[in-house]
Amino acid sequence: MTAAEGELLDARGYLVLENFMSPALLAELRDRAEQLWSEEGERAGSEFKLEPQTRRLANMVDKGEVFRSIIAVPGILDYVRHVLGPEFKLSSLNGRSANPHSDWVQPLHADAGAVADANGYWVANTVWLLDDFTPFNGALRLIPGSHRYGKLPQAVLDDPSAPHPEELLITGTAGSVVIQNAHIWHGGTANRTGEPRRALHAFYTRRDHPQQQYQKRLLRPETQAALAPELRRVLALDDPLNDELCAAATGMSGFMK
C-alpha cells in the first residue's frame, strides 16, 4: 500500500484495486461459486441470511481452497490493517449475486451496524468483483467520506433506500477488488441487465468485536485441521477472546437492523 492510497482510504473511505486477480483465480472463483449456488439451491446463504432478488452464499471458508486463498493475501491485509490497526480477524466470507432484471435496492447501511468507537474503526470489507460492475447491473453505491460521520444512515435518513444526493457508483472490471472502510454508508443497486452481477465479500473486524459468522463453529474439523498457522490466526480459531465474544453476540448485517 502506498502513502497516497492510505490518504485516499482515510479521506474517501474506499479504494478500487483494478485487475487485482489473475485470470486463473477469477475463473476458479466464479466456477466454484456457481457450483455452490447450483448445489445449495434455495438454501444458499441460509447460514447467514437471505435477501430479496439476490443469490447469497455464506460460510465460504469451509467450501473450497480457492476461497481460503483470498482471505489472507498480504497485499489485501495491508489495507485492512490500515483501517483497523494490527489486531483484526476475518468476520465472514460471503457471496452475493444481484439477480437479472431486479428492482431491489439495498438500503444504505454500515456493515454490522458499526459506528466508530473510542478505539476507532472496527469493520473493513473487501469486495472481490467476479463480474464487471457497471452503472446498470447492480454496482455498489456509497457516500464518500461518510465513514467519518459517526452516525448510521437509518438514524438520519427518511428513506435509506432512496437515492442520496452525494452517492457515487463504484464501477470496475471483473478481477478488481474494492477496499472499504465498512463504516462508510453503502448498498447494492438494482440490476437492470439480463445477467447476474456476482461478488465475494471478505469482511474483517477488529479483534475486540465478535465475528459476523463464528468460524470455529462453522468450519468442519477436517477444514480446521488442514489450515496453516496464518489462516488460523486470521480466522481467530485459537483466540479465547473471540470465543467469549461470539458466545455473547454475533455481528449482524447493517441493513438488517
Classified by CATH at the fold level, domain 3-256 comes out as: Jelly Rolls (2.60.120)
Rounded CA gap, 136 and 143, in Å? Answer: 18
For residue 72, the tally of other CB atoms under 10 A from its CB is 18
Q: How far is CA 30 from CA 6, 67, 163, 199, 243, in A?
A: 30, 11, 30, 9, 32
Domain boundaries, the chain: 3-256
pTM for the full model? 0.95
3-state DSSP assignment of residue 77: helix
pLDDT tens string 146-190: 999 999 999 999 999 999 999 999 999 999 999 999 999 999 999
User: Which cell is 138 given?
Assistant: 447492480
pLDDT tens string 65-80: 999 999 999 999 999 9
Give the residue from 129, 214, 142 showing the smallest Cα distance to 182. 142
For residue 218, the tally of other CB atoms under 10 A from its CB is 18
3-state DSSP assignment of residue 86: coil
pLDDT tens string 210-244: 999 999 999 999 999 999 999 999 999 999 999 99
